[in-house]
Chain A
Amino acid sequence: MFEKYRDAFGGGVILLVAVAMYGALPAAGETVMAGVDLSLAPRLVAMLLGGLSLILLLKGLYAAFTAHAGGTGKAVFNYPGKLVGTIAVTTLAAIAFDTLGFKLTAMLYLFAEGYILSYQKGEFKPLPMAAIALVTPFIIDYVFGAWLSMPLPEGLF
């Protein structure tokens, strides 16, 4: 199903983005400076993006309805659980980076992501992973803070 409508779906999403992009621009003539409309380039990009994505959408629909969209037989998501888990953990880490601080966030992220990546094969070794998760953030924080004069967020700790 996804294979069949891949191009049509992709084209449709980008078309919507292009329309939103065009709509977010100031009207023609509103941003003129020294006789030059400074919204010309983004307007052109939005129009080209819209036009090309419309072509992709139509091509994708045509191919889907005439059954030209041959699937490769290769599944797109072999491990959906791992993907969802990774996206969730990485998103949480990015959000918590500033508030929780680098060290705590990195510790939790390394342990959680290490677990997500290896739980299926039974390869997960909690102790070594915990050791890496505990030590590495301190080393990185020290290198960046003391040697590179680039302090990382302290957060709670």
Chain B
Amino acid sequence: MYDTILAGMAQAFSIECILLIASGVTIGIIFGAIPGLTASMALILCLPLTFTMTPINGVSLLCGLFIGGISGGLIPAILLKIPGTPGSVATLFDGYPMAMKGQAHKALGAGILFSFLGTLFGIAVLVFCAPMLAEFALRFTPFEYFAVTFFALTLIASLSSGSMLKGFISGLIGIAFGMIGMSPVGGIQRFTAGTVELQGGFEMVPFLVGLFAVSELFHNCAQGFIPLAMDNGKVVLRGFGISLKEFVGNLKTYGVSSTVGTIIGILPGIGVSTASIMGYLAAKKTSKHPEKFGTGIVDGIVASESANNACIGGALVPLLALGIPGDTVAAILLGALVMNNLQPGPLLFMTQGTLVYGIFTSLVIASFCMLVIELFLIRFFTRLIQTPKNILMPLVIVMCMVGAFGVNNRAFDVWSVLLFGGLGYALHVFKFPLQPAVLGFILGNIVEMNFYRALMASKGDYLPFITRPISAFFVIIGVLFIVYPLVRPLLFKLRKPRIQSES
């Protein structure tokens, strides 16, 4: 046993392997930082390079790309209010307000540090609990998937700062846009008006880039650019930018969000963007000061970055333990393993123990590489937002258009960016929160797909949703999350006269 572990570690610690991991992380960070380019694109582009490599070198390169790609998204999210990857969408909720307050370095430092720690959390779960958790995930049927994602969707109430009614409407607008195109089950066309381009529906990248980046440009044009607090150039860059007290104070947030992120990662088909938002919401729910979330606090960045990076380890659990890829990146990794005549699954741990422990070690090395490289680059990142806005913003929009075009190599996605920019600006003008729309767009389709699948499995019977324990638990909690904010004012009114009469 120990010989196998040591042999695996020795393979991963070879100079060649470390250099490949470092290169992978660097390329991944670049892909993550450019809006529209994602970790999965980086993996697809570099996959052919791995054909001539040894299995451990090839998989290590891909692991580096994966970790760098997920983490790199935090840079534009914090500095430019653009989620570099869909997984960093929740990072901008607090990251950008912090950058606006002149705390870009602190936000980046916290993001990088907790990305690193989140990745380690996910890897630890992968190393110690992979087979057991994979078996648990297999018990999830469409009923459970529906219940979990429905519960996540009901958290719109938590994301609605200000008017709850506007929050729900914003969430439904997101769901409605997600429904355009083929239905997830049955392939029925919806709201396409006979247009070929709309049949495939809207992609997540143009939606997010338009909603945040283009709407921000429109908003700034209408209101005038607000000078950043750090524009005076007197910012001192030191360490991670956060104090030890802040670090210790955020350990609870880290634990909660990393756990949520890992669980979401283990469940196939949900994805890193959901993990990021769910981690953020879980941290907000368990925080002592939930009202401060979204105003620019470190906790929000810690929550999002811990969750999306912990999701990496989680996503590898079903892949390595069962041979089931949970998302696109895992599917590419599966392809790389199969091309090397390796079949992921329970037998992989017995027949290829050295390789498995080599992969685990590579993931840890990649995390450290990510920490060092991003920390080294932090100084350059923070200089980015000091670029004059009349130069920076047009460049950002051009990059957004290019990134959107790159999703499917079609101009329609560029037009979508503009459409969602208009939508985002309209929501802003009418004071609707944007975050529920994002949650609705991401989760709407997953909820709907599992709802239909479950109903088809039960032949139209709704009862299993509340007779299956896991499903019932999440459905009931979800309903309570919707109902409670609606009845809370009523309860408060009923309680108020009683308190007054008692006093």
Question: How many Å lie between the Cα of A91 and that of B401 in the bound state?
Answer: 11
Considering only residues 481-499 of chain B, those with a C-beta below 8 Å from chain A are none
Question: How many Å lie between the Cα of A19 and that of B393 in the bound state?
Answer: 37
The residues of A with any CB-CB pair to B shorter than 8 Å are 6-7, 9-10, 14, 21, 24-26, 31, 33-36, 38-39, 41-42, 45-46, 48-49, 52-53, 55-56, 59, 76-80, 82-83, 85-87, 90-91, 93-95, 97-98, 102, 106, 109-110, 113-114, 116-118, 123-124, 129, 132, 136-137, 140, 144, 148-150, 152-153
Question: How many Å lie between the Cα of A116 and that of B393 in the bound state?
Answer: 11
The residues of B with any CB-CB pair to A shorter than 8 Å are 37, 41, 45, 165-166, 168-169, 172-173, 175-176, 179, 183, 185-186, 188, 190-191, 193, 214, 217-218, 221-225, 388-391, 393-395, 397-399, 401-402, 405-406, 409, 411, 414-415, 417-418, 421-422, 429-432, 444, 448, 451-452, 455-456, 459-460
Among candidates A56, A59, A97, residue contacting B401 with C-beta atoms closer than 8 Å: A97
User: What A residues does B401 contact at CB under 8 A?
Assistant: 93-94, 97
Q: Which residue of B lies closest to A137 (CB)?
A: B398
Among candidates A10, A83, A91, residue contacting B221 with C-beta atoms closer than 8 Å: A83
Pair B452/A36 contact, Cβ less than 8 Å: yes
A-B pairs with lowest CB-CB distance, top 6: A98-B411, A10-B430, A117-B390, A118-B390, A113-B394, A35-B460
Evaluate whether A109 and B397 lie within 8 angstroms (CB atoms) in the complex, with A82-B222, A90-B217 already known. Answer: yes
14 contacts between A and B (CB under 8 A): A21-B191, A33-B185, A35-B460, A45-B179, A53-B169, A76-B429, A79-B224, A83-B221, A86-B218, A97-B405, A102-B402, A109-B398, A118-B390, A140-B399
Q: Would you call the interface of chain B mostly helix, strand, loop, or mixed?
A: helix
B233 CB to closest chain A CB (Å) equals 18
Pair B430/A41 contact, Cβ less than 8 Å: no
Pair A41/B451 contact, Cβ less than 8 Å: yes
Question: How many Å lie between the Cα of A27 and that of B45 in the bound state?
Answer: 45
A50 CB to closest chain B CB (Å) equals 10
Evaluate whether A94 and B418 lie within 8 angstroms (CB atoms) in the complex, with A25-B190, A140-B398 already known. Answer: yes
Pair A38/B395 contact, Cβ less than 8 Å: no
Q: Which residue of B lies closest to A93 (CB)?
A: B401
Among candidates A45, A83, A98, A113, residue contacting B176 with C-beta atoms closer than 8 Å: A45
Q: Which residue of A lies closest to B44 (CB)?
A: A149
Pair A38/B188 contact, Cβ less than 8 Å: yes
> Besides the contacts A38-B452, A132-B395, what 20 more A-B pairs have beta carbons closer than 8 Å?
A24-B191, A33-B185, A34-B459, A35-B460, A42-B191, A45-B176, A45-B444, A52-B172, A86-B218, A94-B411, A94-B415, A98-B414, A102-B402, A109-B397, A136-B398, A144-B402, A148-B37, A149-B45, A152-B402, A152-B405
Evaluate whether A36 and B217 lie within 8 angstroms (CB atoms) in the complex, with A76-B429, A83-B222, A118-B390 already known. Answer: no
